[in-house]
Amino acid sequence: MFSVSEFLSDIASCYNAFSRLDMRVQVTIPGSVESYCIDERGDKRVATDALWLETYLCGVLRAYSYADDGGGDAVKRIIGCRRFNPITNTEAEHRFLAAAERLFFNGSATEHTCWFYEC
């Protein structure tokens, strides 16, 4: 078990393929949580609601991209990644479809969809 003195800070990150940046949440114990993003040049940027929406959609699409077909023949193993079904109920399905609909006609988003499928 970790004590507070052993665990001072951690960063969780998720790649946003639409805007080509890394979304990050940094937790420091005791006391602070900061969300921000790092662009391709390594510059720190403000994490807006629009960027979080893109990141959510990227995460769902990535989860499906790395999922196997259930047949057991093609299990994709990626060290450090946990496979899961991101849409487990009707509410999650509606949230995903609303995000996809909102971003579908966004020119910057649709240009980068190949990042998900290694085009």
pLDDT, tens digit (0-9, with 9 covering 90-100), for 1-46: 555 556 688 899 999 988 899 999 999 888 889 999 999 999 999 9
Q: pTM for the complete prediction?
A: 0.65
pLDDT at 118 (0 to 100) = 38
Distance CA 24, CA 14 (A): 7
Structural domain for 79, as ranges: 9-105
Residue 113 placed within a domain:
no
Residue 73 placed within a domain:
yes
Residue 115 placed within a domain:
no
Sign of CA dihedral 107, 108, 111, 112: negative
pLDDT in tens, 35-92: 999 999 999 999 999 999 999 888 888 777 766 655 555 555 666 666 667 777 888 8
Residue 110 placed within a domain:
no
Residue 47 placed within a domain:
yes
Residue 38 placed within a domain:
yes
Residue 116 placed within a domain:
no
On whether the CB atoms of residues 75 and 40 are closer than 8 A, the answer is no
